[in-house]
Amino acid sequence: MNGAGLFFLAILLVVLVYAVFTYNRLVGLKHGVATAWSNIDVLLKQRHDELPKLVEACRQYMKFEQDTLEKVMQARTRVSRARKSRDIKALGEAEGALRMGLEHLFAVAEAYPELKANETFSHLQARITGLEEAIADRREFYNDSVNLNNVAIERFPDVIIAQLTGFGPHRLLKFASAETADVNITTLFKRQ
C-alpha cells in the first residue's frame, strides 16, 4: 500500500473513532436526560399521593374554602396527566397552577388556628414543602441535562452524527409565568 492509501486509511480510522466516541457521548447525554426526568417523576408522584391527604385534613376545618381545595385538586389532576404523557410544556403550566394553589391554601390555613395546630396538617405541609424544594432542585438538574444534550446535538461536527443517528432535542421544564411573577400579597390573603 502506498503512502496516499495509508494516509486515507488513517484519516478514515480517525473519523470512525471520532464518530463512535461522539455517538457514545450522545447516548450518555440522552440517558442523562431520561434519568433526570425519572428523578422529577418520582417526586411528582410522591407529591401527587400526599395532596389528597392534605386536602382531606383541610376539608375538616375549612368548610367555607371548598373552592380553594377544589383548585388544588384540579391542578393536581393536570400535573398528573402532563406527567404521565411526558408533556413538558403542559407540566410546566400545571405546576405553576398547583404551586399557586398550594400557596393560597397555606395562606388561607393561617386563618384556622385549629388546623394549623393539627399534627397531621403540619406534617403534610412540611412534607409537601420539602417535596416542592426537591422538585425545584431536580428541575434545575433536568434542565442542565437537557441543555447539555441540546448543545451537543447542535455542535459541529456532532450535529452530523446526531442527525444520522436520530438524536433530537428535549424541552426545558419551565413553569408558567405566574410561577415567576411577583406575588400579590393582598390577593393571596384575601378570603374568597
Measure the CA–CA gap between 155 and 118, rounded to whole angstroms: 55
Range of the domain at 158: 3-189
Residue 170 confidence (pLDDT) above 80? yes
Q: What is the pLDDT of residues 86-110, one digit of tens each?
A: 888 889 889 888 988 888 888 888 8
Percentage of the chain lying above the pLDDT 90 cut: 47
What per-residue confidence (pLDDT) applies to 69?
Answer: 85
pTM > 0.85 = no
Q: Are 107 and 113 in contact (CB under 8 A)?
A: no
Percentage of the chain lying above the pLDDT 70 cut: 90
What per-residue confidence (pLDDT) applies to 191?
Answer: 42
Cis link prior to 52 (omega < 30° from 0)?
no
What per-residue confidence (pLDDT) applies to 61?
Answer: 75
What per-residue confidence (pLDDT) applies to 185?
Answer: 42
CATH of the domain at 169: 1.20.1440.20
Long-range contacts of 186-191, Cβ-Cβ distance < 8 Å, separation of 24 or more: 188/103, 188/104, 188/107, 189/107, 189/110, 191/108, 191/111
Per the structure, how many domains does the chain have?
Answer: 1
What per-residue confidence (pLDDT) applies to 189?
Answer: 43
Q: What is the pLDDT of residues 37-68, one digit of tens each?
A: 999 999 999 999 988 888 888 877 777 678 88
Instruction: Give the lowest-confidence range in 31-35, 125-129, 146-150.
Output: 125-129
Residue 190 confidence (pLDDT) above 80? no
Residue 188 confidence (pLDDT) above 50? no
Measure the CA–CA gap between 151 and 134, rounded to whole angstroms: 26
Q: Mean pLDDT over residues 128-133, rounded?
A: 91
Q: Mean pLDDT over residues 161-176, rounded?
A: 90
What is the pLDDT of the chain when averaged over all its residues?
86
What per-residue confidence (pLDDT) applies to 14?
Answer: 94
